[in-house]
A and B are shown apart, each in its own frame.
Chain A
Amino acid sequence: MNMRNSFRILGGAAALGLALAQPAAAADTLKIGVPVGLSGANSVVAPSVVQAAELAVSEINAAGGVLGKQLELVVADDGSGAQGAQKAFDSLVFQKEVDVLISMETSAARNAGLPIVNRGKVPYIYTSFYEGRSCSPWMYVNAWVPEQQVAPIVDHFMTSEGAKSFYLIGSDYAFGRGMLEFTKKYIETQGGTVLGEEYLPMDGTDWTPIISKLKAANPDALITSTAGGAPNVTLTKQLRAAGVEIPYGNLAVDEGTARNMGADAAGIYISASYITGIASDENKKFLAAMEEHFGGDLKTPNDLSVPQYEAVYLYKAAVEKAGSAEPKKVIEALAEVSFKGPRGDISMSKQRHAPLTMYLAQVQPDGGIKLISSFDNVDPGEQCPNL
């Protein structure tokens, strides 16, 4: 293949690239970028997150938009991982030139996207629960951190189930390790003991040796923090197949995934800032609106999708307070606004994080969730002391 023809082809490719390189047209809409795991570990919950965002946007637009401008959603696949997140964030920040990023992601994806957020200077509302202590001048978090989630489960196990010894199992990544590290410390401050702490890589599927170790150690209770989707499912299935029936607290499962696990999920304790059974008016209204909007395609709202809904409203509030969508002003305003959503009063007022009401619940054999107790206004602790 000689050089002349190859250079003709190179020239053609460059021309093609030029043709494709159309800058995003400026418009009088506000673009909300949603980088989310359409593929990969988060692909199970991503549809529910997108639906929550869609509902919020359509409600706000029907009511006249934000400062007279309509909201527009731009969704990008972050592959639930670092590489994909880079591409998604790049696309949203530099190609589509969104005004704000609102989404949930795995910690791997979030860590990879933050440098781009910092470079692009775009406000980013992170709507996923995570291991805590991720800070950026451009990021706010409206979901829970370990300080808020772990205590209810551990306290319940120690008091109502009389558990003194615990076993911890997780996926080997920032979230898994961060959550279990905190859990271990908390258990020990409460006087309990941790008999073992085991991890499998995020794409690992064979928990057999870990489960055998668990059974040998014979703990009173089990607490897990795996990546969403497949790892949750494989671990639970294999635990049940091995006949493990001790109290099982899962720090990272949502109602939808639990339902898909069928009978295996029965008995799992979850501690969340949202369950569909919350009895507030806002929640009832929200659920009805979701039902009406999506009908048969509805994906169960959960602890990862509802914060998304509320975050869109929080952004609206911040833009209205600041009087403009200018990033710096919006960032300042986000600390001061609040929104009463299905989870209650949400305000990201404590070091970029939000005090939340936490619910302890247990999965039922039919896949439903039974509320056990709730805790108001749980403080997120010292997440970003420098902001």
Chain B
Amino acid sequence: MSVLILDIVTTAAILFTVATGLMIILGVMKLINFAHGAFLTIGGYAAYIATVAGWSPWAAIPFAAVVGLVLGLVVEYVIVRPLYARPLDAILATWGLGIIIGQLITIGFGREVQFVEPPISGAVEFLGLSYSTYRLLLVLVAVVIGAGLTGLLYFTRFGLNARAVIMNEDLARGLGIDSTKVRLATFGLGAALASVAGALITPLVSVDPNLGLPWLVNSFMLVLASGVSIPGLMIVSLLLGGAQVVVSTYVSPIIGGLTIVVLAALILRLRPQGIG
């Protein structure tokens, strides 16, 4: 029973970590970034580069953040900005971008699975159970990310501007906030978060050009169901992630893969603005 609870909590933490980047972009820019999966993959490959270069596995994380940030800024300027008024087209354009990034990675690194040095491996005794150390660590990481983002949003100037833009962009512009800069910075931050998440999950997944793809749709559904708020995302990650674990364990792992998508679609039908 307790293993189930740990599974649920750790799964929720991983889902939360992976989805935050997508969420802040949706919140500030009202845009679904379908290149999110590709940014996860970039983070995974950043960790691979760190391994090849012989750095400590922990160094992979800031490295991934920087790579993600730079790429995110470029992408916002070139592809996302022109599509400000066409949100559905922005979904398609970012999906196309994801394809481009995937192919570039394949051409550059090859199709094979790459080996990335994990920072920690093995299991640890926790509450009388033997459980994966790394998964437990990720719970901590998720909390740190959540707290960090909340702090950014509520205790910094940038956060204040961002919240103004989230609530009413036209009004914010009217008050003198340069919403273009806010959007640029937000996209960069979202990409950086995705990249960091990608680097963080490498010990649990296969590092190949398709790393990010399985996470894209689930992240997307979670973010929409969360009502674009940090506490909302935590709740939804626990609820839906938990449902996924329960269904996978007691019904079938195949149907379990569906739970998040189906439940999120139903939640949105009943409450279009999401929870939270």
Contact = CB atoms under 8 A, between A and B. Distances in A.
B111 A262 contact: no
A1 interface: no
A260 B204 CA distance: 14
Contacts of A319: none
Interface residues of B, number: 37
Contacts of A242: 123, 131-132, 135
Given A238-B204, A241-B132, A241-B204, A209 B123 contact: no
B206 A205 contact: yes
Contacts of B4: 212
A204 interface: yes
Contacts of A257: 113
Interface string B1-39: 001100100110000000000000000000000000000
A260 B131 CA distance: 24
Given A234-B206, A237-B203, A243 B122 contact: yes
A198 interface: yes
B110 to A, nearest CB: 8
B76 interface: no
A230 B112 CA distance: 9
A210 interface: yes
Contact of B245 (A201, A208, A230): A208
A59 interface: no
A260 B109 CA distance: 14
A179 interface: no
A200 B254 CA distance: 6
A69 interface: no
Contacts of A47: 112
A238 B256 CA distance: 18
- Which secondary structure characterizes the binding site on chain A? helix
Interface in A57-73: none
A240 B3 contact: no
A209 B248 contact: yes
B208 A243 contact: no
A151 B118 CA distance: 34
A263 B245 contact: no
Contact of A229 (B113, B133, B249): B113
B122 A240 contact: yes
Give chain A's interface residue range (CB within 8 Å of chain B).
35 or more
A274 interface: no
A17 to B, nearest CB: 26
A38 B107 CA distance: 12
A47 B121 CA distance: 30
A213 interface: yes
Interface string A224-246: 00000111011001101111000
Interface string B59-94: 000000000000000000000000000000000000
A204 B206 CA distance: 11
B7 A209 contact: yes
A29 interface: no
Contacts of B117: 262
Interface string B243-270: 0010011000110110000000000000
Contacts of A216: 3
A138 interface: no
Nearest to B250: A209
25 contacts: A39-B111, A44-B112, A44-B113, A172-B254, A200-B254, A204-B254, A204-B257, A205-B205, A208-B7, A210-B248, A210-B253, A212-B4, A215-B130, A229-B112, A230-B113, A230-B208, A234-B204, A237-B203, A237-B205, A238-B204, A241-B121, A241-B123, A243-B130, A262-B115, A262-B117
Given A44-B113, A213-B249, 17 more contacts: A39-B111, A43-B111, A47-B112, A204-B254, A205-B205, A208-B7, A208-B11, A209-B7, A209-B253, A210-B253, A212-B7, A230-B210, A234-B205, A234-B206, A237-B206, A241-B132, A260-B112
Interface of A: 38-39, 43-44, 47, 172, 198-201, 203-210, 212-213, 215-216, 229-231, 233-234, 237-238, 240-243, 257, 259-264
